[in-house]
């Protein structure tokens, strides 16, 4: 089960679209990504998540204080799950 790892939504579980077309970004990779970016660079920022899939990266950014996130995917099933 995929979950938000930090911020306001910490611990909240995220839905993942079924099937083999999606490989959600793991907790460990998202944690590393946001550690590299740094908290000061996330708060108040804008994030563009292309090929959003489950939306985990964008949702994690919002949870950590990003002002907004634009999630883009070309698969209608993925978009419905993100919404």
Domains in the chain: boundaries: 2-82
Structure tokens at 20: 């083999």
The CATH number of 2-82 is which of 3.40.50.2300, 3.40.50.300, 3.30.465.10, 3.40.50.150? 3.40.50.150
**What distance in Å separates the CA atoms of residue 67 and residue 21, rounded to the nearest whole number?**
29
Separation CA 66–CA 47 (nearest Å): 7
Closest C-alpha among 13, 25, 11 to residue 53: 25
Q: Mean pLDDT for each 10-residue chunk of the chain (83 residues)?
A: 92 84 88 95 96 93 97 92 89
Q: Which helix (H) or strand (E) holds 66?
A: none
The predicted structure's pLDDT at residue 16: 85
**Token pair listed for 1:** 């089960």
How high is the pLDDT of residue 22? 81
**What is the spatial distance between Cα 33 and Cα 54, in angstroms, rounded to a whole number?**
16
């Amino acid at each position: 089960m995929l979950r938000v790892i930090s911020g306001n939504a910490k611990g909240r579980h995220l839905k993942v679209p079924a099937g083999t077309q999606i490989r959600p970004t793991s907790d460990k990779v998202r944690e590393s990504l946001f550690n590299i970016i740094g908290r000061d660079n996330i708060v108040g920022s804008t994030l563009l998540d292309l090929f959003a899939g489950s939306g985990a990266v964008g949702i994690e950014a919002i949870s950590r204080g990003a002002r907004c996130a634009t999630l883009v995917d070309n698969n209608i099933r993925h978009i419905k799950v993100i919404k």
